[in-house]
Structure 1
Amino acid sequence: MHFEANDDLLKGKQRAQSLKVGMKEKVVQLYDRHFSGEDISGGSDSFWNEFFLLRANVRYLQAHFERCAWDELACQKPAIRRLFGHCTAPLQNHPAMGQDAIRQANALQTLASLIRGAFSCPPTAVAAAEAAAVVGGGGVSVNVGDVDEQQMDSQRPNHPNLDLLMPPNDAESIMQDLLHRLACCLSDDVVQLPIKALAINLLVTMATACDLQYNPMLSYLVSSRVVQDALLLALFEALHVNRSFIATLTYSHTPSAGHQLVVAEQSGPASSVPEPTNLLVVFLEYCSIIMQDTREQSMFNSCKLCFFILTAISEQTRHRAPTLGVDLESAPLACALLDLLVEFCHSHLMRTLPAELYQSALLILHRLLCYQKRTEIRLHYNWHHLWSALFTSARYALSCYQKQPVGTAEPQFLRSLLSLVSSVCLLLNFFVTYGDTFLPTCEVYDLLFYELIRMKSLFEDASQLSLSIISSDPDHPLREAAMQLDRSLVNIRSIIQHFSPRIDEWAEAQGQRSLTQDQVLSVVRSNYESLTLRLYSQLDCFTSFRESIPNENAYFRQLTRKIVTSVRKDAFDASQQLQAKLKDLSSL
Structure 2
Amino acid sequence: MLRRGNEGKKPLKEKIILHYDILFKSHGDDSFDTPTFWEEFFLLKAHPDYIEKKFESFVAKDLIQMKDRLNFLFEKCLEYIQCDQPVRVINALQTMSCLFRGIHSVEVGDHGFDKINLLVGFDMAETSMQVLLRCLTAGLTNDHYNTTIKAVILQLLLVIATGTDNISQNTFVEYLMTNEELYDTLLELLTDPVARSRLGNDTVLLLALMVNYRKYEGVNPFVMRLSVLDDELALSCLGSVISSAFASFNKQFVSKQEESKSSGLFSTITNMVGSMFIGDSDEQKQMIKSNEAILLALYEAIHLNRNFISVLTHSHTDATLVGTPPHTPGGTDDESVPSQPATPTPESFVDASTTRNVLSTFLQYTSVVMQDTKLKRNISSTKLCFIILTCITEDQFANSFIHDENMSFQVCIHKMPMRHRKVKAIVEKPGAPLACWLLDLTVEFIVSHMMKDLPFSQHMRCLGIIHRLMCHEKKCQIRLSYNWRELWTALINLIKFILSNESAIFGRWKKGIFALFTLVINIFNMFITFGDTFLPTPTSYDELYYEIIRLHQVFHSLENFVLRHNANPEYKDVSSRLASSMVNVLAIVRHFNPKIEQYMKDNNMASLTEEEVLEIVKSNYDDLTLKLQHSLDHFERYSERPKETHFFTELVRSISEQYRKTMVFDNIDLQDFMHF
TM-score by length of structure 2 reads: 0.57
Aligned partner of 2:385 among 288, 306, 313: 306
Aligned partner of 1:491 among 560, 584, 588: 584
2:475 aligned residue: 374
CA gap 1:567/1:227 in 2 versus in 1, 3 angstroms = same
- Structure 1 distance, partners of 2:355, 2:366, is 19
Moved more, 552-561 or 354-363: 552-561
CA contact (8 A) 2:205 2:297 kept: no
- What is the deviation of 1:184? 4.0
- Structure 1 distance, partners of 2:195, 2:482, is 37
- What is the deviation of 1:560? 3.0
1:553 aligned residue: 645
| Other structure's SS at 2:558 match | helix
Aligned partner of 1:519 among 612, 616, 634: 612
1:509 aligned residue: 602
1:442 aligned residue: 538
CA gap 1:287/1:398 in 2 versus in 1, 3 angstroms = same
- What is the deviation of 1:355? 1.2
- Structure 1 distance, partners of 2:591, 2:368, is 43
- What is the deviation of 1:302? 1.8
Moved more, 282-291 or 447-456: 282-291
- Structure 1 distance, partners of 2:503, 2:632, is 29
- What is the deviation of 1:106? 4.2
CA contact (8 A) 1:53 1:103 kept: no
- Structure 1 distance, partners of 2:181, 2:361, is 34
Deviations 1:142-175 (A, max 9, x none): xxxxxxxxxxxxxxxxxxxxxxxxxxxxxxxxxx
- Structure 1 distance, partners of 2:154, 2:486, is 47
CA contact (8 A) 2:600 2:608 kept: yes
- Structure 1 distance, partners of 2:510, 2:485, is 28
- Structure 2 distance, partners of 1:221, 1:184, is 23
1:88 aligned residue: 151
Deviations 1:187-228 (A, max 9, x none): 134878589985663342343369736888998686345533
Whether 1:109 aligns to 2:192 is yes
- What is the deviation of 1:550? 2.9
Aligned partner of 2:356 among 261, 268, 277: 277
- What is the deviation of 1:324? 1.1
CA contact (8 A) 1:284 1:337 kept: yes
- What is the deviation of 1:523? 0.6
Aligned partner of 2:547 among 451, 456, 462: 451
Query: How big is the alpha-carbon RMSD for the aligned residues of Structure 1 and Structure 2?
Result: 4.0
**Aligned positions of 1:339-378 closer than 5 A:** 339-378=440-479
CA gap 1:102/1:87 in 2 versus in 1, 3 angstroms = same
Whether 1:202 aligns to 2:241 is yes
**Aligned positions of 1:239-250 closer than 5 A:** 239-249=302-312
Aligned partner of 2:205 among 183, 192, 195: 183
CA gap 1:50/1:258 in 2 versus in 1, 3 angstroms = closer
Deviations 1:105-158 (A, max 9, x none): 44883446758xxxxxxxxxxxxxxxxxxxxxxxxxxxxxxxxxxxxxxxxxxx
Deviations 1:374-417 (A, max 9, x none): 11111111111111111111111212214469xxx34xx12222
CA gap 1:520/1:103 in 2 versus in 1, 3 angstroms = closer
Whether 1:45 aligns to 2:108 is no
- Structure 1 distance, partners of 2:661, 2:510, is 38
The percentage of counterpart residues that share the same residue type is: 31
**Aligned positions of 1:96-495 closer than 5 A:** 102=185, 105-106=188-189, 109-111=192-194, 183-189=205-211, 201-208=240-247, 212=251, 223-249=286-312, 251-257=313-319, 272-315=351-394, 316=396, 317-318=399-400, 319-320=403-404, 321-324=407-410, 329-403=430-504, 409-410=507-508, 413-471=509-567, 473=568, 475=569, 477-495=570-588
CA contact (8 A) 2:139 2:153 kept: no
Deviations 1:410-435 (A, max 9, x none): 4xx12222322221111111111111
CA contact (8 A) 1:415 1:481 kept: yes
Which structure carries more relative contact order (alpha carbon 8 Å, separation 6+)?
2
- Structure 1 distance, partners of 2:588, 2:625, is 8
- Structure 2 distance, partners of 1:183, 1:557, is 15
CA gap 1:199/1:341 in 2 versus in 1, 3 angstroms = same
- What is the deviation of 1:290? 1.4
CA gap 1:231/1:100 in 2 versus in 1, 3 angstroms = closer
Deviations 1:62-82 (A, max 9, x none): xxxxxxxxxxxxxxxxxxxxx
1:148 aligned residue: none
- Structure 1 distance, partners of 2:144, 2:484, is 52
CA contact (8 A) 1:211 1:260 kept: no
1:582 aligned residue: none
- Structure 1 distance, partners of 2:582, 2:553, is 13
| Other structure's SS at 1:45 match | helix
Aligned letter for 1:208? A
| Other structure's SS at 2:310 match | helix
- Structure 2 distance, partners of 1:462, 1:559, is 37
Whether 1:54 aligns to 2:54 is no
- What is the deviation of 1:91? 2.1
- What is the deviation of 1:292? 0.8
| Other structure's SS at 2:316 match | strand
Moved more, 381-390 or 315-324: 315-324
CA gap 1:284/1:271 in 2 versus in 1, 3 angstroms = closer
- Structure 2 distance, partners of 1:452, 1:52, is 63
2:63 aligned residue: none
| Other structure's SS at 1:277 match | strand
CA gap 1:100/1:371 in 2 versus in 1, 3 angstroms = closer
Q: Structure 1: which 5+ runs fail to align?
A: 1-41, 57-82, 116-176, 262-267, 579-588
Aligned letter for 2:642? P
CA contact (8 A) 1:290 1:302 kept: yes
Whether 1:535 aligns to 2:638 is no
- Structure 2 distance, partners of 1:306, 1:255, is 23
Aligned letter for 1:334? A
CA contact (8 A) 2:147 2:195 kept: no
- Structure 2 distance, partners of 1:275, 1:380, is 22
1:150 aligned residue: none
- Structure 1 distance, partners of 2:236, 2:87, is 29
CA contact (8 A) 2:208 2:293 kept: yes
- Structure 2 distance, partners of 1:383, 1:566, is 41
